[in-house]
Amino acid sequence: MRSDRYRRRTLTLLTMALNLNTSHVVGKPNKNALKVLIAAEYVGVEVKCLKNFEMGVSNKTPEFLKMNPLGKVPVLETPDGVVFESNAIARYVNHVSCGILFAAVARLKTDTTCSLFGSPPIEYGQIEQWIDFASLEIDLNLLAWLRLRFGLDNYVAAVEEVSIAVLKRALSALLLHIISCFLMLKGFWEMFDPEGYSLWFCNYKYNDENTDSFVTMNKVGGFLQRMDLARKYAFGKMLIIGNEPPFKVKGLWLFRGLDIPKFAMDECYDMELYEWTKVDLSDEIQKECVNQMIEDHEHFEGEALLDAKCFK
């Protein structure tokens, strides 16, 4: 079952273009982005460089820093999440394409587990990304600093200054990331401001039509892409529920303001395909349902999850 879920995810990723945030040097994507593009070309995954990316501007926005707290490029956006660190992105892209084959083989072998590539591709990519971050941003600079202090390298004040500055930048970015994970999971109700924000459940009206897992996942992926216009006003989590068709699609959305923003209703046609119910904050059962939707469990309301997608 697990390998099946894995296969479906990789299939979705293989058929969609993935967006790469990158700077350009003399009109060409920078060298780190080129590594990604070359790997992608080799393995047949479509990666597109985002137009209008402006170095020094686009990578300083709060939206960008949510994707990479360090504010560096390249950063790959996928329907399942984001990967930064160019080598990690290149390995992720390769993993997506190998995954299909591997999952098929694993399925033939056991039908229950996918031993080496057991987790979804995005988890693999993000683990790789943090390994590279630790090696390149933390370990390397810490070592450079310590070598000067231990007398292993000739002491040069300017080199020490740079190592410390880069290390501080990396540690601050890591701290930012840890704090935002912590706030998202643990402190949600303490942080939630019921006067400035509202929470909504959404329920897909035509679940009977969700007979194909791949089409259903694409439908939800498309919805999140079309909600891009509400990036500053919303946080959302969508669940695709069930082991077999028809799959149920449910979601939880946090909107700025006490109502669903009108422009989202007007401009994103998917909105009317869902039934929207405001979460009643005095109802503990509804609050528990919110908790279940925020946390990443394998099951929801007693049924297996086919996929979960976040919009932030």
Ligand X SMILES: N[C@@H](CCC(=O)N[C@@H](CS)C(=O)NCC(=O)O)C(=O)O
Chain residues binding ligand X by CB under 6 A are: 23, 30, 32, 71-74, 85-87, 136
- The least CB distance from residue 235 to ligand X, in Å, is 26
Long-range contacts of 251-254 (CB under 8 A, 24+ apart): 251/201, 251/202, 251/293, 252/199, 252/200, 252/201, 252/202, 252/279, 252/290, 252/293, 252/294, 253/199, 253/200, 253/202, 253/311, 254/197, 254/198, 254/199, 254/200
Q: Tell me whether residue 9 or residue 72 sits nearer to ligand X (CB atom).
A: 72
- Identity of the residue, 100 or 140, whose beta carbon is nearer to ligand X in the bound complex: 140
Minimum gap (Å) between residue 138 Cβ and ligand X: 12
CB closer to ligand X, 86 vs 213 = 86
Q: Tell me the two tokens of residue 292.
A: 């279940």
In the complex, minimum distance from the CB of residue 27 to ligand X, in angstroms, rounded to a whole number: 15
Least distance CB 41 / ligand X (angstroms): 18
CA distance linking residue 171 with residue 163, whole number of Å? 12
Q: What is the DSSP string of 78-125?
A: ETTEEEESHHHHHHHHHHHHHHHHHHHHHHHHTSS--STT-S-HHHHH
The residues with which 308 forms a beta bridge, in sequence order, are 239
Nearer to ligand X, 129 or 213 (CB): 129
Min separation Cβ 211 and ligand X, Å: 41
In angstroms, the CA 177 to CA 33 distance is 23
> Minimum Å distance from CB 36 to ligand X?
9
Please say which residue, 39 or 308, places its beta carbon nearer to ligand X: 39
Query: Residue 159 or residue 281: which is nearer to ligand X going by CB?
Result: 159
